[in-house]
């Protein structure tokens, strides 16, 4: 088996607050191979973004954070690197695209100046060479007239163009791993589709691994090869994208899929809702984290945390009763013709 590009082993991210230690990421383990697009899904507050930022320690600017476990990139543990060593990895080998480009782009510098600075810092090119590479990257990401747009300020670009500029910046050093944290959430449907097509195209062309964080299962179904479902800082189910939609095993995953709006002929089905909300990390429930919202929870679920068990070689689930729950899903799906 080839060595994974990224291998996360029992990652825990702790915030040390006045009320004590709060664990936002709690024992997450998975890997990303070269050329894979792995989706991380879950509701807001489930720990997706904190987990993605922990990979390259973007939260290190605060003194009240600590990590456990391993984040191995090419065999090097990123959690053990010095700040200087980590800066050489960020932006060069691993790049990140965030949800809101307006919060990431500096309004007082042109797009070309900001992308060019990244290229000069990591690639050692001259200012002239960096400008030409910036234009090439803007063209690659589908921005029209890149020779002109390179001198535009962020406010002169539309939201979709700003996000393309952020992707151009992220890919300017040809990273081996791209972390895309909700990159299409703030965009309209048409621009969203274009951005997704762009990421898939660049993934195939450059062979980079992609970690795609989203709450949109429709996006996952469209572009991801594998999926990790997160809840309360933990992975509760992981499998291939096809199998996740065919046979979800965790009640939380089933609830997410059932919440996708559907049209059945001229009749609109009632939208499914997962009762309750994600508990506070500072007051996480004992036992299974989903037990406070799960219709199948019993005394065992509320007292003892289930392990992540392998239903089959490519399908893991963190649930005591997943076999009986999966059977009920299959019967219900058959009745709805899914």
Counting DSSP H helices and E strands in the chain, the numbers are: 13, 14
Sign of the CA dihedral running 210, 216, 217, 223: negative
Provide the pLDDT for residue 30. Answer: 96
Together in a domain, 13 and 156: yes
Picking from 224, 240, 268, the residue at the C-terminal end of a domain is: 224
Position 237 in a domain: no
* Cα–Cα distance measured from residue 144 to residue 141, given in angstroms and rounded to the nearest whole number: 9
- Give a yes or no: residue 272 inside a domain: yes
Residues 262 and 269: beta-carbon distance below 8 Å: yes
Residue 231 inside a domain? The answer is no
199 and 309 belong to one structural domain: no
Do 117 and 257 lie in a common domain? no
Q: Which of 179, 206, 224 is the last residue of a domain?
A: 224
- Write the pLDDT tens digit of every residue in 276-296: 888 888 888 999 999 999 989
For the stretch 23-69, pLDDT in tens is: 999 999 999 999 999 999 998 888 999 999 999 999 888 778 999 99
Sequence-distant (≥ 6) Cβ neighbours of residue 236 within 8 angstroms = 229, 230, 250, 252, 253, 289, 290, 308, 317, 318, 319
Residues 176 and 120 occupy one common structural domain: yes
Tell whether 24 and 116 lie within a shared domain.
yes
Q: Tell me if 243 is assigned to some domain.
A: no
Residues 256 and 220 in one domain: no
Tell whether 229 is covered by a domain.
no
In angstroms, the CA 18 to CA 87 distance is 30
Question: 232 in a domain, yes or no?
Answer: no
Q: What is the pLDDT of residue 1?
A: 59
In a shared domain, residues 156 and 218:
yes
Burial annotation 18-38 (CB, 10 A radius, 16+ → b, else e)? eeeebbbbbbbbbbbbeebbb
What are 116-128's pLDDT values in tens digits?
999 998 888 999 9
CA angle 315, 319, 321 (to 5 degrees): 105
Domain that holds residue 315: 250-336
pLDDT at 80: 95
Q: Are residues 68 and 216 in the same domain?
A: yes
* pLDDT at residue number 211: 96
Residues 57-115 pLDDT 10s? 998 887 789 999 999 998 899 999 999 999 889 888 999 988 778 888 999 999 999 99
What does the pLDDT read at residue 186?
65
User: Who wins on pLDDT, 176 or 186?
Assistant: 176
Q: How do residues 252-275 score in pLDDT, each as one tens digit? A: 999 999 888 776 555 556 677 888
Instruction: Report the domain count for the chain.
Output: 2
CATH of the domain at 137: 3.40.50.300
Classified as helix, coil or strand, 256 is: helix
For residue 206, tell me if it sits in a domain.
Answer: yes
Say what percent of the chain tops pLDDT 90: 55
Is the pLDDT at 311 greater than 90? The verdict is: no
Q: Tell me the C-alpha distance between 138 and 149, whole Å.
A: 8
Confidence (pLDDT) at 249: 93
- Whether residue 218 is found in the same domain as residue 263: no
Last residue of a domain, one of 174, 207, 224: 224
CA distance 66 to 63: 8
Distance, CA of 338 to CA of 260 (rounded, Å):
13
Same domain, 164 and 267: no
Enter the pTM of the model: 0.88
Residues 20 and 158 in one domain: yes
Per-residue confidence at 312, pLDDT binned at 50, 70, 90? Answer: confident
Residues 98 and 201 in one domain: yes
Mean pLDDT (the chain) is: 88
Domain-embedded: residue 241? no
């Amino acid at each position: 088996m080839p060595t994974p590009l990224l291998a996360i082993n029992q990652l825990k991210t702790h915030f040390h607050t006045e009320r004590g230690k709060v664990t936002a990421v709690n024992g997450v383990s998975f890997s990303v191979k070269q050329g894979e697009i792995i989706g991380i899904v879950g509701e807001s507050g489930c720990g997706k973004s904190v987990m993605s930022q922990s990979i390259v320690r973007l939260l290190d600017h605060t003194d009240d954070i600590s990590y456990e476990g391993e984040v191995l990139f090419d065999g090097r543990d990123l959690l053990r690197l010095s700040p200087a060593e980590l800066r050489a990895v960020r932006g060069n080998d691993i790049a990140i695209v965030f949800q809101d480009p307006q919060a990431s782009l500096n309004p007082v510098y042109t797009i070309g100046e900001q992308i060019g600075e990244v290229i000069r810092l990591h690639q050692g090119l001259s200012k002239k060479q960096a400008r030409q590479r910036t234009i090439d990257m803007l063209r690659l990401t589908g921005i029209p007239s890149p020779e002109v747009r390179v001198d535009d300020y962020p406010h002169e670009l539309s939201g979709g163009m700003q996000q393309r500029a952020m992707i151009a910046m992220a890919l300017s050093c040809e990273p081996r791993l791209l972390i895309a944290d909700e990159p299409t959430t703030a965009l309209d449907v048409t621009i969203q589709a274009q951005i997704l097509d762009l990421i898939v195209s660049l993934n195939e062309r450059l062979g980079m691994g992609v970690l795609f964080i989203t709450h949109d299962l429709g996006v996952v179904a469209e572009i991801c090869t594998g999926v990790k479902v997160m809840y309360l800082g933990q992975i509760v189910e992981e499998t291939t994208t096809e199998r996740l939609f065919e046979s979800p095993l965790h009640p939380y995953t089933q609830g997410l899929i059932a919440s996708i709006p559907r049209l059945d002929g001229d009749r609109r089905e009632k939208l499914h809702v997962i009762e309750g909300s994600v508990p506070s990390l500072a007051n996480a429930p004992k036992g299974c984290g989903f037990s406070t919202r799960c219709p199948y929870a019993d005394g065992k679920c509320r007292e003892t945390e289930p392990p992540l068990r392998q239903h089959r070689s490519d399908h893991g689930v963190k649930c005591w009763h997943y076999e009986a729950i999966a059977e009920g899903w299959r019967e219900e799906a058959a009745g709805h013709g899914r």
